[in-house]
Amino acid sequence: MSGEASAGVASDAGSASEASGDESAGTTAGDDALVDFHETDSRPPTVAIVASLAAAGVAATAALVASPVGGALLGVAALGLLGGSLRSSTRVLGWGAAVGVVGLAVAGYRGAPAEALLVAAVGLAVAWDVADHGVGLGEQVGRGARVRRNVAVHAGASLLVGALAAALVYGVSLAVGGGQPVAALALLLAGGIALVSALR
Amino acid sequence: MSDSRDAAVAAEPDGSEGDGTRPSGADRNDATGSDAEDGNATGAAGDGERNRNATDPAATRSAEPSTEGNHRREVATDRWLGIAGAALALVGLGVLVRQPSLVLAGAVGVGYAVYARTGEAPTPTLAVTRSVSDEAPAPGDEVRVTVRAENAGETALPDLRLVDGVPPGLAVVDGPARVATALRPGAAVTFEYTVRAARGDHEWEPLTAITRDVAGARERTTTLDAPTAIACTPELAAGGDLPLRGLTTVHHGRVPTDVGGAGVEFHATREYRRGDPLKRIDWNRRARTGELSTVELREERAATVVLLVDARESAYVAADPDAETAVEASVAAAGQAFSALLDGGDRVGIAALSPLDCWLPPGSGTVHAARGRETLATDPALAPTPSGERFYRSLWLRRFRRRLPGDAQVLFFTPLVDDTAATLARRIDAHGHLVTVLSPDPTTTETAGRRLTAFERRQRLRTLRSAGIRALEWGDDSFPVAVAAATRRWSR
Amino acid sequence: MVAVAVGLLAALDRGIAAAVSPTSAVVTLLGVLGVVQGVRYANARRDRRRLLTEPGEPERRAPAAVPGSALDERIARAADPAPGGYRDRRDLRDRAREIAVDAVARDRNCSREAAATAVGDGTWTDDPAAAAFFGRRAEYPLRVRLSAGIRGRSNYWYGLRAAIDEIERIEEGEP
């Protein structure tokens, strides 16, 4: 019924579906209470974003202590994780985590102590895990729903696994002692390559 | 059914479904019936026993069926894809540059890779209860829905997401109908949301439960039945303001007769007899002479009218995806016409142009009024969303003509968005029934296609009119206003 | 597996490590291999397909169709400048022609045949694009062809829009 204005929209919009999208949005906003349907907010829940940022902050701080460049890269990773969360993009999250791994590599290359590097690694893993979990939750449940317990359990489990793994490898490295048998490491690595290739 | 059997196997691999305690399909159906009355329903996947014991059979607000979860699929989310590669790269780099701390950091990555591979998405064994605050609300009422899910199984659910199956004809106005949580065995989660009631019988669809393992590497989707329904039956509007007399007097029906009796036009007066209605006593004469006498009015023969509502899938259209469909507009208008015609003494029936059968034979009286109201509100053929069945035009027409009384006239409510409706109107007219097309206008003019559709509809109206079929349309203005305008036009 | 086991043993016992002691070159080679393979495997993530359950929007009332939306999709297909879609174009043109003929017949108070002739030879309208849309001989005006070329649209799209605009003008002109 609203002739000219709407016709103008149609002439500009590239396709018909675009035009219909514009129109329905406008009408919904301008209409009365009868169309107040609930729109699902599919952004990740805030609690997941906050937890992810906290973990990423810990990781960046730990790396910064050891190596400024590595710490900076982990800071970039934290920003990437935040951006991925805000845009609900797991792809961006993946790239953020990749930058973080590069940050770990740089920090390690610069001779970061094992303790700091382990904390940074666990922090990065938890940060990415919680952020990615949050995006999935956002898509399936949305921001408006109650999710706190779910996120807490997930983040807690992730942290626990990381802490256990770090404690284990740190313990082994202490047991082995200072002199690193390169041969042993190399053999482990060869086995690891074979294992990962087989498991993939 | 085979699906739910699969689910039972998945839920409890020891095959306990053979012990006879599991509810059969028949139980479930019975329960559905009682749920509709109680407004409370329970469904469980897997363990029905616990749920049954927990339910007091004497309590009328609880139903005791338990239904199997319907296992759909388990998929790998591939969330952790690449973690092993990243770990390997770190270890390799550590070896390459002889930095043991990098090897350790990489080893932590290996830990996560193992973590991601260990879990399996659990099959939820949930006892689901859904209750509604009002199972027979008026249109526009807000109905509070409470869903409770208890982990009745033995395994913990570290990551459980529930999405309720809100009926497609209802809109949630407060809170998403979802929750995400983690449940230990025996723990329960409750969530609430509010829907706005709209005309029709609304049955809840199964609840969707998505479970993941703790690492989130695998995901399983299960649907859980917890039958719940609300029936929203609008009051029939008082029909006095609808000037339908013009619609029904022209050809046959309501023919003035020379028989005195009930009617509107003065015929004669006679002596008062016991039982004559008070309003027909000639009070003027009583005041003048003190005699009691009764006014005889000219009796009119009642018309037989069938309200035909177009509820084919193509009629579920609206100017805006979130607006009321043309079917809603037609049903609301048919409701007004129904009570107006009944008040006027006509015999009124209801039929739907729909793949599903709907036929209320013409009748009158208060019982008939109640049945008409019920039909318009909750008949599946006039449901608020299309049924998805196929519509066979000639089959429908044959059945409709067989049922239609010979002297009946038809008020045909249709948005006229396709040729079929116009063709049917002409076919019914050709069989000697007076057809009046009453068309809610769902067309808009934003895009080329919509404008073309609007032109075509307008042309259909013109063609109908030129074929001698009365047709009126209403859009922004209300149905009574359109009828008033049209009857003025027609009576000229 | 064996390598992992031996590696573990070697890490714990110097003797074994000494026994299998690889040269520095071999270690470096292994390290490079690890990095390369690791990056390759991590790279697999890039073509990951997410297969998550999408619960949709049960909160929303089932959206109603808007009359003409399906037609809009057909128009979009037909108006695509890429070749093909001939049948869609012809069908749409026929539908629009019906409406135009009806409108002209009503407007000029003439027979449908006369109206069809007017629509066919383009004399039903002053708009050259609308005339060209139904016309057998008429050419689209240069202006339309230029802007169609620049905006990457087909002449058909402009012709259809012009024709619908023209039909609307005729319809509006009536009481």
Interval B173-197: pLDDT, tens? 988 899 999 999 999 999 999 999 9
The Cα-based distances of C126 to B162, B304, C111, C121, C132 in angstroms read: 62, 52, 20, 12, 11
With 0-12 CB in 10 A as exposed, 13-18 as middle and 19+ as buried, what is C113? exposed
pLDDT in tens, C117-171: 888 887 888 788 888 888 766 677 777 777 777 776 777 888 888 888 888 888 7
pLDDT in tens, A161-177: 999 999 998 888 887 76
**Contact state of B317 with C67 under an 8 Å Cβ cutoff:** yes
Task: Give the model's pLDDT for residue B367.
Answer: 92
Task: Give the model's pLDDT for residue C108.
Answer: 85
* Nearest residue of B to residue C159, measured between CA atoms: B448
Q: Confidence band (pLDDT; 50, 70, 90) for B119?
A: confident
Three-class SS state of B307: strand
Rounded distance between C-alpha atoms, residue C110 and residue B163, angstroms = 61
With 0-12 CB in 10 A as exposed, 13-18 as middle and 19+ as buried, what is B244? buried
Q: Is C175's Cβ below 8 Å from some Cβ in B?
A: no
Rounded distance between C-alpha atoms, residue C1 and residue C22, angstroms = 18
Q: What percent of chain B has pLDDT over 70?
A: 77
pLDDT in tens, C97-108: 888 888 888 888
Q: Confidence band (pLDDT; 50, 70, 90) for C11?
A: low
Higher per-residue pLDDT: A186 or A148:
A148
Rounded distance between C-alpha atoms, residue B252 and residue B32, angstroms = 47
* Nearest residue of C to residue A136, measured between CA atoms: C52
> Which of A95-104, B260-269, B316-325, C102-111 has the highest average model confidence (pLDDT)?
A95-104
**Contact state of B85 with C38 under an 8 Å Cβ cutoff:** yes
Q: Is A191's Cβ below 8 Å from some Cβ in B?
A: no
Contact A141, B163 (CB under 8 A): yes
The domain defined by B2-71+124-232 folds into Immunoglobulin-like (2.60.40)
HSE-CB of A88 using CA atoms within 13 angstroms: 13
Rounded distance between C-alpha atoms, residue B125 and residue B154, angstroms = 8
Residue B77 confidence (pLDDT) above 70: yes
> Which of A135-144, A186-195, B14-23, B43-52 has the highest average model confidence (pLDDT)?
A135-144
Task: Give the model's pLDDT for residue B19.
Answer: 37
| Chain A environment of C14 (Cβ under 8 Å) | 181
Which helix (H) or strand (E) segment is C133 a member of?
A: helix C128-134
User: Which ranges constitute the DSSP H helices of A67-147?
Assistant: 68-86, 90-109, 114-140
Candidate from A10-24, B432-446, C37-51 with smallest mean pLDDT: A10-24
Task: Give the model's pLDDT for residue A23.
Answer: 34
Domain ranges of chain B: 2-71+124-232, 257-300, 304-491
Residue A49 confidence (pLDDT) above 90: yes
Rounded to 5°, the CA angle B95-B97-B102 comes to: 60
Mean local confidence (pLDDT), B351-380: 93
As a whole number of Å, the CA-based R_g of chain B is: 32
Rounded distance between C-alpha atoms, residue A10 and residue A18, angstroms = 9
Residue B22 confidence (pLDDT) above 70: no
A4 Cβ contact list (under 8 Å, min separation 6): none
> Which of A27-31, C39-43, C78-82 has the highest average model confidence (pLDDT)?
C39-43
Residue A143 confidence (pLDDT) above 50: yes
Region of residue B75 (left: phi > 0; alpha: psi -120 to 50; beta: else) = beta
The chain-wide mean pLDDT, for chain C, equals 78
Three-class SS state of B228: coil
Q: Confidence band (pLDDT; 50, 70, 90) for B62?
A: very low
The pairs formed by B8-16 with CB atoms below 8 angstroms and a separation of 24 or more are B8/B46, B8/B68, B10/B71, B10/B123, B11/B45, B11/B46, B11/B47, B11/B68, B11/B69, B11/B71, B11/B123, B11/B125, B11/B153, B12/B46, B12/B47, B12/B125
The Cα-based distances of C163 to B131, C93, C102, C129, C148 in angstroms read: 56, 10, 13, 7, 16
| Chain B environment of C40 (Cβ under 8 Å) | 85
The Cα-based distances of B242 to B333, B403, B480, B484, C136 in angstroms read: 10, 27, 5, 7, 52
| Chain A environment of C6 (Cβ under 8 Å) | 187, 191
**Contact state of B198 with C61 under an 8 Å Cβ cutoff:** yes
Q: Confidence band (pLDDT; 50, 70, 90) for B66?
A: very low
C51 Cβ contact list (under 8 Å, min separation 6): B75, B76, B77, B78
pTM of the entire predicted model? 0.74
Q: Confidence band (pLDDT; 50, 70, 90) for B481?
A: confident
Helix axes B326-343, B366-378, angle to 10 degrees: 180
pLDDT in tens, C80-101: 766 667 777 888 888 888 888 8
Cα B329 versus chain centre, distance: 14
The residue behind tokens 């940074």 is A120
Task: Give the model's pLDDT for residue B220.
Answer: 92
Task: Give the model's pLDDT for residue B264.
Answer: 54
CATH code of the domain occupying B304-491: 3.40.50
C126 Cβ contact list (under 8 Å, min separation 6): none
Three-class SS state of A104: helix
* Nearest residue of A to residue C152, measured between CA atoms: A14
Residue B357 confidence (pLDDT) above 60: yes
Higher per-residue pLDDT: B78 or C23:
B78
The number of beta carbons lying within 10 Å of the beta carbon of residue B357 is 12
As a whole number of Å, the CA-based R_g of chain A is: 24
Task: Give the model's pLDDT for residue B272.
Answer: 77
Residue B38 confidence (pLDDT) above 50: no
> Which of A170-179, B4-13, B15-24, B130-139 has the highest average model confidence (pLDDT)?
B130-139
Task: Give the model's pLDDT for residue B266.
Answer: 61
Helix%, strand%, coil% for chain C, nearest 5: 70, 0, 30
Longest dimension (CA), chain C: 110
Domain ranges of chain A: 46-176
**Contact state of B447 with C37 under an 8 Å Cβ cutoff:** no
Q: Confidence band (pLDDT; 50, 70, 90) for B170?
A: very high
Q: What percent of chain B has pLDDT over 90?
A: 43
As a whole number of Å, the CA-based R_g of chain C is: 35
Domain ranges of chain C: 2-40, 72-172
